[in-house]
Structure 1
Amino acid sequence: MTAPLKDITPAERARGTSFYEASARTRLELLLDVGSLVEFIGPEQREVSPHLKIFDLPEQFDDGIVVGHGRLDGSPVFFAAQEGRFMGGAFGEVHGAKLTGLLRAARQIGSIPVLILLDTGGVRLQEANAGELAIAEIMRAVMEARAAGVKVIGLIGGRSGCYGGGGLIAGCCSALAVSEPGRIAVSGPEVIETNRGVEEFDSRDRALVWRTMGGKHRRLLGAADVFADDTVQDFREAALELLALAGSFGLDRLKAEQQRLADRLRSFGACGDAVDIWTVEGIADAQAIPELPADQFIALANRIGRTRRDA
């Protein structure tokens, strides 16, 4: 018999809720400590995009991002969660300003970490320069916050993945947790195909997309620090792990990151497919990686996967 809803604990509900399927607010409600979520510039303030009405496009009263503060396992955190169901989580002027302002507040305080739940296809074409400027401002705000001692943790596992400017912002974070659906790339599959041709990248080949941009490959490459199963509870546990592991930031870490990227190019520059990279990494049955259940993959990644904790 199924337990009555009132008897289900928050952790059980979080364990039974798909991060991929959940809305931004549901993710936050289950990720943070019960009753601790406080939103800044919420929907009641109706800070909407000034550009969408020109194109006869629907607006959203929070402009597709939820920002605020709460507690995670008793400790204070700032948070930002993109709503991938609204315009694919794309960055616009107001959307970007809310995240930039949050990061600047974290920098000024200096002791409260920031969780960014990235779920985005990139910049809104309708907001063009305003969206591109927002990405630049966010990247600078992330780096300034980190330089001030703030840990900025990215959590990626939503419907829209983490593309375009979102991919650049992810690369600036202190650490990343990703699930299998959590694709990370600067250029999306359709963009690559449009500009380079289907011979370069077939966007309709879902297996190719997932093994090239998906969470498993990103974890094995060291482009993400932790692989999480697709539940909100797993992402909560990943966030706590990364907050404990993320180190300080400075010039030495940037130099180490540059060296790591040079080593990656030297090791894998001649590989034509993710499977080739996994084989070079020493994985005996590389072809089986996409089908591995989360627990088996996590064990493999912890044994073989590279880490980016040097940056």
Structure 2
Amino acid sequence: MTAPLQHVAPAERARSTSFNEASARTRLDLLLDAGSLVEFIGPEQREVSPHLEIFGLPEQFDDGIVVGHGRLGGAPVFVAAQEGRFMGGAFGEVHGAKLTGLLRAAREIGSIPVLMLLDTGGVRLQEANAGELAIAEIMRAVMEARSAGVKVIGLIGGRSGCYGGGGLIAGCCSALAVSEAGRIAVSGPEVIETNRGVEEFDSRDRALVWRTMGGKHRRLLGAADVFADDTVQDFREAALELIGLIGPFGLDRLRAEQGRLADRLRRFGTCQDAVDIWTVEGVAHAETVPELPADQFIALASRIGRSNRDAR
């Protein structure tokens, strides 16, 4: 008989729990050292959005994001995890303020890494101005924290992906870990189709969406530093790896990133599909990449070696 869940060791639960399917608090509970999570501005404080009630929409007492601190591998970390099951993890005023405040606290301390578990479709339409302002404040706070020596790591593998302003925030991080489900883009499939037509991008073509925006493509392109399988334990190991690898941030790193982006445009600017890019990268039988199991894909990505850990 299978042991009751409460009697299963946290490490074993982390190995058997899907990052994609878990709630924000479950992800944090299993990602961090057992029992170390301390939440800031939790549900008991009832800090809800001031805007949703006007539209007759349900509120959530943490406004869809968990922020706090804990320990990872025995060392202190700040953490933030978006709840993709509440309004698609979308940014609003309170949601954004909690993340901005966490990043500013990290900047003041200057030595504790920040792990952001991004799971978002972008900004809430009902809080458009406040949400857009929140994105700008978060991006500034990320860069200020990095300039103060803080390592800011994005972990992306949730149901909502990382779209809109979330994609911009991801681009500001020191490093990213992504799973196959971890789609990253500024404009989502439906947005592209609505504005440019189905001929430009068919949002119902799941294979197209995943090979264009999914974690495998982002890893091969060098836009993500580590590819993780879909377990909380794999993301924990990815976070520990990246904390140990991230170097100092400054003007030289930004210049190197600019050079990397220019090289990407030169090499892939005429490609029409992700498969074309993978072929240029030297991937044999590139069309088979989406079907590769995680371990085989990780080995492939290591051989390709596009990630040089410059600024995002």
The match for 1:168 is 168
User: How high is the TM-score relative to the length of structure 2?
Assistant: 0.98
Q: For residue 41 of structure 1, what is the aligned residue in structure 2? A: 41
The Cα shift of 1:310 comes to: 1.8
Residue of structure 2 in register with 1:214 after alignment? 214
Pair 1:103-2:103 in alignment: yes
For each residue in 1:88-113, what CA deviation from the matched residue of structure 2 results, as whole angstroms up to 9, or x when unmatched? Answer: 00000000000000000000000100
Task: Give matches, 1:69-80, under 5 Å.
Answer: 69-80=69-80
Aligned to 1:12: 12
User: Which SS does the other structure have where 1:79 is aligned?
Assistant: strand
Shift of 1:305: 3.7
Alpha-carbon separation, structure 2, partners of 1:6 and 1:122: 35
DSSP-derived class of the 1:126 partner: helix
In structure 1, the residue matched to 2:139 is 139
Alpha-carbon deviation of 1:10? 1.2
User: One-letter code of the match for 1:71?
Assistant: R
**1:225–1:309 CA contact under 8 A, matched in 2:** yes
Q: 1:292 to 1:203 in 2, by over 3 A?
A: same
Q: Structure 2: how far apart are the matches of 1:205 and 1:142?
A: 34
Does the CA-based 8 Å contact 1:177-1:235 persist in structure 2? Answer: yes
DSSP-derived class of the 2:125 partner = coil
Mapped pair 1:158 → 2:158 = yes
Could you say which residue in structure 2 is the equivalent of 1:229?
229
User: Which string of whole-angstrom CA distances, capped at 9 and with x for unpartnered residues, describes residues 128-161 of structure 1?
Assistant: 1100000000000000000000000000000000
SS in structure 2 opposite 1:195? Answer: helix
Measured in 2, the distance between the counterparts of 1:308 and 1:122 equals 28
Shift of 1:294: 0.3
1:221–1:305: 8 Å Cα contact kept in structure 2? no
- Give me the whole-angstrom Cα distance separating, in 1, the residues matched to 2:217 and 2:109: 35
Q: Using the alignment, how far apart are the partners of 1:212 and 1:76 within structure 2? A: 36
Asked if 1:254 is matched to 2:231, the reply is no
Alignment partners' CA distance in 1, 2:233 and 2:103 = 25
- Which residue of 2 is the match for residue 304 of structure 1? 304
Match of 1:245 in 2: 245
The answer to whether the Cα contact below 8 Å between 1:63 and 1:94 also exists between their aligned partners in 2 is yes
What are the superposed Cα offsets for residues 25-74 of structure 1, whole Å, 9 maximum, x if unpaired?
A: 00000000011000000000000000000100000000000000000010
Aligned to 1:180, the other structure's residue is in SS state coil
- TM-score normalized with structure 1 length: 0.99
- Deviating above 2 A after TM superposition, structure 1's stretches of 4 or more consecutive aligned residues are 1-8
- Across the aligned residues of Structure 1 and Structure 2, the Cα RMSD in angstroms comes to 0.9
Q: Is the 8 A contact 1:219 1:305 kept in 2?
A: no
Distance apart, 1:5 and its partner CA: 4.1
Distance across 1 between alignment mates of 2:126 and 2:156 = 25
Structure 1 unpaired stretches of 5+: none
- CA distance in 2: counterparts of 1:269 and 1:180, whole angstroms: 24
Structure 2 unaligned blocks of 5 or more: none
2:310, 2:71 → 1: CA distance? 27
Q: d(CA) in 2 for partners of 1:84 and 1:5?
A: 24
How far residue 247 of structure 1 moved from its aligned partner, in angstroms, is 1.0
Residue 251 (structure 1) shift: 0.6
Give % identity.
89
- In structure 1, the residue matched to 2:123 is 123
